[in-house]
Amino acid sequence: MDTNDSPTNPLTYWDYIATDQLFQLQKPLTDAHDEMQFIIVHQTFELWFKLAIYELRAAVDALDAEEIQRGVHLLKRVASILRTSLHGFEPLMTMSQQGYAEFRDALHPASGFQSSQFRVLEILLGIERVTTEGERVEERFYWENAVQAGHTFTNFMAKYHEDLVASYDNAKQRNVRALMLRLTEKATGRTGVEAYRYLLSNRDDYPLLMSLAEIGRDLQQAMLDFRLHHHKVTVFTVGEHAAGTSDAHKPGHPSCAAYLLGVIKDRSTIFPELEEALTGPAH
């Protein structure tokens, strides 16, 4: 028996949830009233991301083992977690531009751009690195192309790049996009977009795979919803034209709102084969 659970030392809520430790982690840099909310909202998002990643990894394991029902169940949970996290943006919408301006400069050049967990989510869902042909041909994550060197970018790369590449290599055949496609191809005997077209035309024959495709689309929408809500908060708290706290913008993206809109446009599709089957010409 765990000593924490003994009759002489019964387990407490505060020890189990580690509330004392948790409450030590909010450390505002200024006296600005709204900074506490800003920190807690970000920390809460990171906790939801942590749980989403945990469940996503389990979902990937299940799909890899062809346990589709369990995979669907866990992916539904991931979508629910992401949607729940979005409510975290609401209190930020009550912060005025002046309220944010009171502590914003103290954060520079830290930025949500540096959230590695958000990138891990994308990797597990199945984003691809893109090949660029500069002086030498190399594979890069889209975020490496989105910005230019600055502390925001170089600090992020120094701390997380290696781990993210390792996560990516590890998830190459084991991500939601690849596994959804592999399972659909195996069941339909067709490849790529054709596998999804066949599935969609014969949906009654493949109820589990249809549920999988539907939850895949739901997850794609949840990620897009994150970006849309985030963009709205940014416009409300920084304005349409101001730079954010990041120092990594390319000249073509002078304001943070413009930068974020560009990412929204480029990153809204996570499962391109499925989207093409849904929107392209049916056979």
Residue ranges that bind ligand HEM, judged by CB under 6 A: 41-42, 45, 92, 100, 111-113, 115, 118, 147, 152, 227, 230, 233-234, 237-238, 244, 246, 248-249, 256, 259-260, 263
- Identify which of residues 225 and 275 has a Cβ nearer to ligand HEM in the complex: 225
- Identify which of residues 203 and 250 has a Cβ nearer to ligand HEM in the complex: 250
- Identify which of residues 210 and 264 has a Cβ nearer to ligand HEM in the complex: 264
Both structure tokens of 67: 């346990």
204, 181 Cβ separation under 8 angstroms: no
Q: Which residue is nearest to ligand HEM (CB)?
A: 112
89, 230 Cβ separation under 8 angstroms: yes
For 131, the 3-state DSSP assignment is: strand
| CA atoms of 231 and 258, how far apart (whole Å) | 9
* Min dist. Cβ of residue 198 to ligand HEM (A): 33
* Min dist. Cβ of residue 46 to ligand HEM (A): 6
* Min dist. Cβ of residue 119 to ligand HEM (A): 8
- Identify which of residues 42 and 161 has a Cβ nearer to ligand HEM in the complex: 42
Give the CA count within 13 Å in the CB-facing half-sphere of 17: 7
CA distances from 137 to 11, 74, 102, 128, 164 (A): 57, 38, 44, 16, 19
- Identify which of residues 92 and 171 has a Cβ nearer to ligand HEM in the complex: 92
| CA atoms of 141 and 126, how far apart (whole Å) | 12
Both structure tokens of 198: 């066949």
Torsion of CA 29, 33, 38, 41, to 10 degrees: 120
CA distances from 62 to 69, 128, 183, 192, 282 (A): 8, 22, 12, 21, 30
* Min dist. Cβ of residue 196 to ligand HEM (A): 26
* Min dist. Cβ of residue 142 to ligand HEM (A): 8
* Min dist. Cβ of residue 28 to ligand HEM (A): 14
- Identify which of residues 109 and 192 has a Cβ nearer to ligand HEM in the complex: 109
* Min dist. Cβ of residue 55 to ligand HEM (A): 17
- Identify which of residues 85 and 175 has a Cβ nearer to ligand HEM in the complex: 85
DSSP H stretches of helix in 171-248:
176-188, 192-201, 207-238
